[in-house]
Chain A
């Protein structure tokens, strides 16, 4: 094993090691999820050296410098105020979802008008229109971190794979017998997973365009799915009230997470793949041990359905969005609610942390998106202007640009 070079990853903090083994170039990452400004760098590096043989004494100084840079990045004050930059009359019918590529240089919008469009973030110009679906384009994704491919899932029961650069369609994945409503690339960008109203999820091989495996077992619609960071496991949340954990390679169900008393709305892994958070119409969010499928906690407090859940990048916090118009932040280790985000005048359908973890973004039926301090629960900004409900919203990786997609057929860029 020979170390070739280091790569720095800001969010979540980590160092990627590129090394050679048996003539092959490989990478592995040292996650520094607990890194803070108070962390003693020398002690940390000593700790890393004990478990990581690639970090040899001559490399120690370099690693120290890298960690210092991560620390500096973490220490940057986040007082960015957002202003409306552009209103994109994006589609002739309501938008469904929006998503950034990793660098944030472009983003995509899906719509009831059966198209997906690629936009240049800096200019707000339309780069490509992805045409071909015969019904609503509902679920969309970039194959981040690469960002050279886009997948679209449609109510026409197909999923299409496109080139992000040319807008050309590589493959149409056929096989589902009902609407596709969620999808995701695996982190290696070799597979696309699609979840459907036909009660199944399917994994598709990006190279061959063939179906790799069908995940069968749910007795109702699959509404949400998520790969873990390593890409060997995938979870699916269903209207049958359960969540399934599957082995990606074999397509076998490893665990069934039973406990919710209502339809599942959202499922998420944390970064280190140890925890699963699930939101449900039963008004709760549940935390599960990803290794044994056992329930660790039930996060209560919402008075209506929980519509979306997310972890921050380091996996230390969980945020929940509810039809009761509030959002909540919970500490993942203590399982206590640390902040209640109050102010929206309608249900909150989307919630996400900024990659830095220092901000929360919510999109609501009250036509506004809001930015919050996750620790105090204070609303820092109200993004007003949409003429109808906001269905989706997202931060770019730098955390300094926001896009919102609305039922008013427009997409807005805030920065």
Chain B
């Protein structure tokens, strides 16, 4: 079930549009086994919303900074993935923890070309990994924007962020371009293989 081929289902996803307050509550509740709650975090301008829309096969030509959050559901390998994309601007980062409850997988997105902010993004990630409500939650780090010439390779980012010191959970770094879609599926394959055991 968790093979790479299974992921192709995603290419034919039924992308559900956002559905009001009530649907937030439906997604908030203890999801049935076949539903997975995925949190997308990262600094502003990391490409979280582009990634979300790429996953939902939606138009990515007009994306503005997220002032709140976006939610989309996509079907994959028999699972319903509820993806929560939360705005990353500094003033709203303290509110990330509003969304920690019942998270099955954390996806952390990094702008690989924004070297000036590697330290900042590393700090935010370290703080997330210290959060009690996210303890043990598998984390996928997308080294995004690999389409840019100035992008740092994933290995360099992994080293700079000391990812090898993460020992309390499974983790993976995946280089990708949310714009072209390259690498995105590989990352999501990892997600489906490594989501919390109770969901399998």
- Asked whether, in the complex, the Cβ of A221 is within 8 Å of the Cβ of B67, the reply is no
**CA gap between A92 and B92 in the complex, in Å:** 7
- Residues in B lying within 8 Å of A, measured CB to CB: 17-22, 25-26, 28-29, 67-69, 87, 91-92, 95, 97-98, 101
**Contact present for B95 and A197 (CB under 8 Å):** no
State the 8 A-B residue pairs at the shortest beta-carbon distance, nearest first.
A349-B20, A94-B68, A391-B21, A93-B68, A221-B29, A135-B98, A136-B98, A409-B67
Which residue on A lies nearest to B19, using beta carbons? A347
Count of A-B residue pairs with CB < 8 Å: 69
Does chain B have a CB within 8 A of A307? yes
Q: How far is the CB of B59 from chain A (nearest CB, A)?
A: 17
How many residues of A sit at the interface, in one of the four size bands? 20 to 34
Q: Which of the residues B18, B25, B91 comes within 8 Å of A389, measured between beta carbons?
A: B18
Of B68, B91, B97, B101, the residue contacting A407 (CB under 8 A) is B68
Residues in A with CB closer than 8 Å to B26 are: 239, 263
Please, which residues of chain B bring their CB within 8 A of the CB of A265?
A: 22
Complex formed: what's the CA distance from A199 to B102 in Å?
Answer: 17
Within the complex, the shortest CB–CB distance from A158 to chain B, in Å, comes to 14
Pick the contact of B95: A113, A138, A221, A389 (CB < 8 A): A113
Instruction: Using CB atoms, name the residue of chain B closest to A391.
Output: B21
Structural contact, B20 and A307, CB atoms closer than 8 A: yes
A365 to B24, CA, bound (A): 13
The answer to whether A329 has its CB under 8 Å from any CB of chain B is no
Q: Are B21 and A349 interface neighbours, CB within 8 A?
A: yes
- Asked whether A349 lies within 8 Å of B22 as measured between CB atoms, the reply is yes
Whether B98 and A112, one on each chain, are in contact in the complex, defined by CB atoms closer than 8 angstroms, is: yes
Q: A361 on the interface (CB 8 Å rule)?
A: no
CB < 8 Å neighbour of A365 from B20, B25, B68: B20
Partner of B25, one of A92, A112, A223: A223
A404 within 8 A of B: no
- Could you say which residues of chain A place their CB within 8 Å of the CB of B92? 92-93, 113
Q: How far is the CA of A140 from the CA of B97 in the complex (A)?
A: 21
Report the bound CA distance from A92 to B26 in whole Å: 24
Residue of B nearest to A363 (CB): B20
B91 nearest CB across to chain A (Å): 6
Is residue A114 contacting chain B, with contact meaning CB distance below 8 A? yes
Please, how many angstroms separate the alpha-carbon atoms of A347 and B23 in the complex? 11
Please give the distance in Å from B31's CB to the nearest CB on chain A: 12
**A321, closest chain B residue (CB):** B20
List chain A residues, Cβ under 8 A from B20.
307, 323, 347, 349, 365, 389, 391
CB distance from A283 to the nearest CB of B (A): 14
A155 to B101, CA, bound (A): 10
Q: Using Cβ atoms and an 8 Å threshold, which residues of chain B touch A349? A: 19-22
The CA of A197 and the CA of B30, in the complex, are separated in Å by 9
